[in-house]
């Protein structure tokens, strides 16, 4: 199930840096709606964040919700 409104587009680069510190690799996006594409060494498929036109939040799918929530909780405490 897709979830919209979880991660603001202003936080996408911070989220990518947070993932890179955990061993993820940033890949070039494909298509006009992708805002972030990351790949974990352990996962065969990339994690992709999307954004609709005129949207201020990224759309997450699948297990990405867990990672975004973990990022939000860790950065909120700082």
pLDDT digits (tens, 9 = 90+) for 13-64: 999 999 999 999 999 999 999 999 999 988 888 999 999 877 899 988 888 8
DSSP class of residue 8?
Answer: E
Residue boundaries of the structural domains of the chain: 3-76
Q: Is the pLDDT of residue 1 over 70?
A: no
Helices (H), ranges, 1-78: 12-20, 64-76
Fold of 3-76: TATA-Binding Protein (3.30.310)
- Pairing mode, strands 25-27 and 34-39: antiparallel
pLDDT at 33: 92
pLDDT digits (tens, 9 = 90+) for 2-14: 777 789 999 999 9
pLDDT at 65: 87
pLDDT at 53: 79
């Amino acid at each position: 199930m897709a979830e919209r409104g979880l991660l603001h587009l202003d936080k996408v680069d911070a989220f990518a840096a947070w993932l890179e510190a955990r061993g993820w690799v940033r890949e070039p996006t494909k298509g006009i709606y992708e805002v972030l594409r990351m790949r974990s060494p352990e996962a065969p498929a990339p994690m992709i964040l999307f954004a609709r036109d005129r949207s201020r939040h990224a759309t997450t799918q699948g297990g990405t919700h867990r990672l975004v929530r973990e990022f939000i909780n860790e950065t909120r405490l700082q």
